[in-house]
Amino acid sequence: MDLPPDLRTFHRSRDIRTAKDLATTDSTNEDKASHSYCKLTSLICLEKKESPVNPYNRVDWTKMNSKWPLPDTDDNEINAVNSLPQLDCGAFPKSYMDTCSCCPRGIFDKHDTDTINNYRNIVLKDDDCCKTHWTRKERYQKIKAKVDRAVKLGMARLLEEAHWLYEKDVSSVLFPRSYNLSREPKAFLDDFRLTAAAGLLKWFVGRMHDGQGFSESGHRPILMSRLEFAIKRCEEFIAREIHQNIDKDFVTEFSEEEWNSFLDDYTAAVHEGAGIETTSEKSRDQLQKYLEATNPILARLKEIDPQYELNGMRNIWILKPSELCCGTGISISHSLKDIFRKIKSRPKDYFIVQKYIERPLLIHDTKFDIRQWYLVTNTFPMTIWVFKEGLLRFSSKPYTFSTYHEAIHICNTAIQEKYDEERRRRRKRGNSEEVVKSIRDQGWDCEKLNEYLKQTGLDGEPYYDKIYTKMSEAIVLTMLASQEHMDRRRCSFELYGADFVVMEDLSVWLIEINTNPRMHPPSSRITKRLYSNVLESLVKVVMDVPVNPAADTGGFSLVYKQNIPDFRPYLGPCLFVFGKSITLQEHPRKREKRKKGGTGWVKQQHQQQQQPRAWTAPPMIPRLREPKIVDFIDYLNTARCTAAN
């Protein structure tokens, strides 16, 4: 294929610049032209399609090959955001050694590299490698690592395997199950259907206990067969969870029409107030049989499903933009069609779909969440400080399912402030219907919440003994799950804001973690006091504690400091094996044969030898019948001593 003149010039100038013997070329203008063409090719790819809008949130994390060119050598200041390359999905590089496309491939062969050495230092010291190219990719790695633990999709992926980091009374987390519908629609669809089946059974038991299990006037009744359908689907789930379906397939495949028909009846019953079709006494007896079969199934689901209480019965899901903040773009829905319609209207990896907590702890019929600040002063070993007091964020309206308005269900401060201003304007005009102050105006803090919980009959200090402890454990586990993606840098810190929702049983659920949490402007007397206390305490921890470990830390308390064992210096790349040669005794037959058939010189040597050659037994290396962790050097010393004896 014939190349355009400027492209031929680019390839020729690139070859001149990369040749070692002609590295110092005097064609300055030609180099600048080639650099400007490099910038153009980073935006336009002639052979490959453009990369997705968001290259971070992918199911395939194994590789991403960059296709950016060399930057200008005179660009000393690099914008970290603008310098992000376009990426193609492949295998993600495990180290900086696999990322550079212009450095000589043998650069690392000249150095004794191991896991302890830093490849970055080698690159910056070598004259044959472009330092700016590596600096850009290093900054990309740091930005990507921050995205992994900060955006909602990245945090959900990290917490999927976080159960391996569980430690009793140290690290544990409750996180509502979340899905990326652009990557895993089938998993969400199965979960949605199963939650609807269990929700219908919960609704049926509740209606029967209240005496409302029959159809009412004005509502379209649902078929009784829907109960049997839901019971069988829950039984299949239980059999799969307890591994009863290994030898026999319990799962029955149903068409999309059957599932859609069931979901329509489920919505009519749970959300629209429909009853169950009963036309005779026989059908009422059948309802009683269904009730007797449903109770043990729900009890079994409660045992094996850790999010049984979270599910509720309304099958409500919340859609959040993965990379937005301040409650922007959040919507709530129980309709499967509505959820998929919103997902398709946005680019891939835009939304995260999370199970909505339907039964939160309410204070005077008002929903609230807790913003908990914490400080990370070291990533290796992980050091976490948690602020002793959290911010209670209340909604503006009483909690109800009649509408999914953000003033009722979204407790974000930026959202609720809009309705505070509206209420103030109505009061100023004199047409407000509110007689008493909203709970947001009553100045609730953690101490007042603790007193409220004690009045409900809870013993001890409910907030500090249960809620605060569980929040600290969730923060520790989340940060440990993201530790390998964090930059190890001394003399630095970062302040985070974690959002939690407390349920009726005082279980604490992590909703999201925010970098750069909002600290201004204060929206009330409570926030004004807390914001200033957090910042003052932060300065004490960062500035005073390194100098004096016993210094005052203000409102922060150290909840976790990772214990990293010391590594021995011999655990490097060098391995020394000590030993001695083994001299075995010659077999008697061979010795006699050699005596008889040997030459005169051999006989003479044999006669001079008064004693036979010594036989050295092989060293007895201790063998372990069971797996055991031992010190390698001590193991070798033991073997040498045994051989010498």
Instruction: Dump the DSSP string for 348-391.
Output: TT-EEEEE--SSB-EETTEEEEEEEEEEEEEETTEEEEEES-PE
User: In this model, does residue 160 exceed pLDDT 90?
Assistant: no
Q: What per-residue confidence (pLDDT) applies to 210?
A: 74
User: In this model, does residue 14 exceed pLDDT 70?
Assistant: no
For residue range 245-269, what is the model confidence (pLDDT) as tens digits? 666 665 677 888 899 999 999 999 9
Least confident interval from 427-441, 471-485, 549-563: 427-441
Task: Report which of 499, 534, 501 is spatially closest to residue 519, judged by C-alpha positions.
Answer: 534
Mean pLDDT score of the chain: 73
* 245 vs 49 pLDDT, higher one: 245
Q: Give dist(CA 610, CA 549) in Å, integer.
A: 75
Q: What per-residue confidence (pLDDT) applies to 172?
A: 93
Q: What per-residue confidence (pLDDT) applies to 301?
A: 94
Determine how many CB atoms are found less than 10 A away from the CB of residue 449: 20
Q: How confident is the model at residue 614 (pLDDT cuts 50, 70, 90)?
A: low
Q: What per-residue confidence (pLDDT) applies to 307?
A: 92
What mean pLDDT comes out for the span 479-490? 85
Q: What per-residue confidence (pLDDT) applies to 555?
A: 93
Q: Give dist(CA 51, CA 42) in Å, integer.
A: 11
User: In this model, does residue 56 exceed pLDDT 70?
Assistant: no
Q: How confident is the model at residue 637 (pLDDT cuts 50, 70, 90)?
A: confident
Token couple for 167: 């430690």
Q: What per-residue confidence (pLDDT) applies to 428?
A: 63
What mean pLDDT comes out for the span 38-62? 35
Q: How confident is the model at residue 593 (pLDDT cuts 50, 70, 90)?
A: confident
Q: How confident is the model at residue 155 (pLDDT cuts 50, 70, 90)?
A: confident
- φ and ψ at 218, to 5 degrees? 90, -5
Q: What per-residue confidence (pLDDT) applies to 538?
A: 95
Q: What per-residue confidence (pLDDT) applies to 641?
A: 57
514: which strand partners?
497
Q: How confident is the model at residue 49 (pLDDT cuts 50, 70, 90)?
A: very low
Q: Give dist(CA 133, CA 92) in Å, integer.
A: 17
Non-local CB neighbours of 121 within 8 Å, separated by 6+ positions = none
Q: How confident is the model at residue 284 (pLDDT cuts 50, 70, 90)?
A: confident
Top mean pLDDT of 94-98, 280-284, 305-309, 521-525 is at: 305-309
Q: 411-417 long-range CB contacts below 8 Å, 24 or more apart?
A: 411/367, 411/368, 411/369, 412/326, 412/327, 413/518, 413/523, 413/527, 414/326, 414/327, 414/518, 415/326, 415/327, 416/440, 417/523
User: In this model, does residue 343 exceed pLDDT 70?
Assistant: yes
Q: What domains lie within the chain, and their CATH numbers?
A: 177-358 (no CATH), 360-427+439-563 (3.30.470.20)
User: In this model, does residue 399 exceed pLDDT 90?
Assistant: yes
Q: What per-residue confidence (pLDDT) applies to 133?
A: 56
* 441 vs 143 pLDDT, higher one: 441
Q: What per-residue confidence (pLDDT) applies to 552?
A: 94
502: which strand partners?
508
User: In this model, does residue 105 exceed pLDDT 90?
Assistant: no
**Measured at the alpha carbon of residue 84, what is the angle toward residues 83 and 86, in degrees to the nearest 5?**
125
Q: Tell me, what DSSP letter sits at residue 185?
A: H
Q: What per-residue confidence (pLDDT) applies to 230?
A: 93
Q: How confident is the model at residue 608 (pLDDT cuts 50, 70, 90)?
A: low
Q: What per-residue confidence (pLDDT) applies to 159?
A: 86
User: Is the preceding peptide bond at 221 cis, omega within 30 degrees of 0?
Assistant: no
Least confident interval from 43-52, 347-356, 437-446, 510-519: 43-52
Q: How confident is the model at residue 580 (pLDDT cuts 50, 70, 90)?
A: confident
> Is the C-alpha dihedral spanning 290, 291, 292, 295 positive or negative?
positive
**Cβ–Cβ < 8 Å for 86, 45:** yes
Q: How much of the chain, in percent, has pLDDT values that exceed 90? A: 34
What mean pLDDT comes out for the span 450-472? 93
Top mean pLDDT of 15-19, 205-209, 294-298, 633-637 is at: 294-298
Least confident interval from 381-390, 430-439, 465-474, 587-596: 430-439
Torsion of CA 465, 471, 472, 476, to 10 degrees: 150
User: In this model, does residue 154 exceed pLDDT 60?
Assistant: yes
